[in-house]
Structure 1
Amino acid sequence: MTFSLGDNSYGKAECRLVRVVRDGPRHEMIDLNVSTSLTGDLADTHLTGDNAKVLTTDAQKNTVYAFAREHGISTIEEFGLLLARHFVATQEPVHGARVGIERYSWNRLGDHSFARSGGAVRTAAVTLGPAGAEVVGGVRGLTLMNTTGSEFHGFPRDRYTTLAETTDRILATDVNAEWLFTGLDADWDAAYTAVTGALTGAFTGTHSLSLQQTLYAMGGRVIETVPEVAEVRLSLPNKHHFLFDLSPFGLDNPDEVYYAADRPYGLIEGTVKREK
């Protein structure tokens, strides 16, 4: 039996980094989770255990923290590009790098006091290789709900179908979205605000006949309104809400009291692309 080494990479996952800017009495704080991954001429460490070409994952972790001090953090997209370019430029065996970053939201309570918001997480993924660099922005856990304006009917029925058709239901989801930028010169903060605004605006303004239809409307709104985005990939769990039966207690339920189910759930995914 013969075998060979296929695609491989290595890196440091989930470097938790908090950067505090203390330029005056009013502090600024950024809270990140940074993961690095390198590819290239790295077969020797797998095949023979020769580590001469391996930049240690510990060194990758240290670089993340050192760069936060030396260069600061303007946006997570720019920070990711800075790290990826450094690893490829300084390590001859390394031909490609991927940096994934999550940014956690905090609400300001005072000049130097903050509370974790528990809201959506901003993300970025920077990939640098022989063909160039690619930046993907994103958001995870953007929770949205319409309490009306959603229907679902006209679907096929078989012997296992029990779902009732409806012309009025709650539609709720936790938006997980990633968008590919057309270039590397975008205003990253403005683009994030524009994309998330387009996503929430389309969700709010679409009379939905299916979550699939809503997904397409959300992606289309991004493409129409944010020229820096080439495509947007959406993953939308359908967070089901079921009317709770109050009849055993002698109570009616005119679409007011729901059981919010966390699992299982429908998962709707799709990509909307800018036509060339």
Structure 2
Amino acid sequence: MAIALGPNQYGKAETRVVRIDRDSPVHRITDLNVSTSLSGDLIDTHLTGDNAKVLPTDTQKNTVYAFAREGIGEIEAFALRLARHFVDTQEPIHRARIRVEQYAWQRIGDAPHSFARGEAAVRTTTVTYDGTNTHVVSGVEGLVVLNSTDSEFWGFPRDEYTTLGETQDRILATAVNAHWRHGTHSEDWGASYAQARQALLDAFVGTYSYSLQQTLYAMGQQVLERQPTLAEIRLSLPNKHHFVMDLEPFGLTNPGEVFHADDRPYGLIQGTVQRDGFPSAEDAW
């Protein structure tokens, strides 16, 4: 039985880079976590240890910092620059995948150079380039949202292990992890991200939910409806359960006002909403 090397890649994971733009008295901060991954004609290093075609991961890290010195801009554009550089300048490298996470900072009042760490939600992008084809996936992770009512859950099957009661009024909370693939490149990555993020929030607010699955589809549908150039969106929604506390042992009533927020175990709802007319691109993810 023959043994052969299968798919492989290598790179530098989680290069932390912070850039301060000082071109005006009011500074701007960009805080990124960048991971690079390269693949191509790399069989020699695996089979014989010959590193003649292996661009060091330390070089990849240094490239991130050098490119940041030239300016970062929108994270999608920054990732595109990096991906094209690695493939176009290294003949053995046939594909580059760049993942970028951006952490938000907010200015403290009117202070020109003082900042506080912003919301927990993280803006992301993953760019894949193979010398010909380019795929751009944008996203947001950890966007925590909650509806205090307008959510029900009932009509599910029951068996000998089912103890969950049906409810016509519950808290619905989740931490949205959403990633959307661009069918064509945006002229304004920042505006596209802001529009997609707002569509997610608007759909969450505007959907009377009978299941988190229904809410997931509504969120994905609204993102695609607002941006015709997006091909698909993938969502992963952990159900952040809130259970009504029994206060009767203390002689108190609890008309749906006091809850225990349980962090695990949790339901995990995942799904993809797609638009017809765009080719599939599993390699983009």
TM range (shorter): over 0.9
Alignment RMSD, CA only? 0.9
1:64 aligns with 2:102: no
Paired AA for residue 241 in structure 1:
H
Number of residue pairs matched? 275
- Secondary structure at 2:82's aligned position in 1? helix
Paired AA for residue 88 in structure 1:
V
CA contact (8 A) 1:186 1:228 kept: no
- Encode CA deviations 1:181-235: one digit per residue, 9 max, x unaligned: 0122431001101101100000000000000000000000011111221100000
| Corresponding residue for residue 78 of structure 1 | 77
Deviation at 1:118, TM superposition (A): 3.5
Deviation at 1:131, TM superposition (A): 4.7
Paired AA for residue 133 in structure 2:
G
| Corresponding residue for residue 93 of structure 2 | 94
- Encode CA deviations 1:223-271: one digit per residue, 9 max, x unaligned: 1111221100000000000011111111111100000000000000000
1:43 aligns with 2:43: yes
Paired AA for residue 105 in structure 1:
A
Alignment gaps of 5+ in structure 2: 278-285
Identify the range of structure 1 (258-267 vs 114-123) with the bigger mean alpha-carbon deviation. Answer: 114-123
- Encode CA deviations 1:107-129: one digit per residue, 9 max, x unaligned: 11121000011421000000001
| Corresponding residue for residue 204 of structure 2 | 203
CA contact (8 A) 2:87 2:131 kept: no
Question: For the residues of structure 2 that align with 1:58 and 1:68, how far apart are their CA atoms?
Answer: 16
Question: For the residues of structure 2 that align with 1:226 and 1:179, how far apart are their CA atoms?
Answer: 11
- Secondary structure at 2:198's aligned position in 1? helix
- Secondary structure at 2:76's aligned position in 1? helix
1:275 aligns with 2:276: yes
Q: 1:185 to 1:191 in 2, by over 3 A?
A: closer
| Corresponding residue for residue 242 of structure 1 | 243
CA contact (8 A) 1:238 1:266 kept: yes
Runs of 4+ in 1 over 4 A off after TM superposition: none
| Corresponding residue for residue 192 of structure 1 | 193
Paired AA for residue 204 in structure 1:
V
| Corresponding residue for residue 233 of structure 1 | 234
Paired AA for residue 93 in structure 2:
V
TM-score (norm 2): 0.95
Paired-residue identity, %: 64
TM-score (norm 1): 0.98
- Secondary structure at 2:265's aligned position in 1? coil
Paired AA for residue 41 in structure 1:
D
| Corresponding residue for residue 21 of structure 2 | 21
| Corresponding residue for residue 8 of structure 1 | 8
| Corresponding residue for residue 281 of structure 2 | none
Alignment gaps of 5+ in structure 1: none
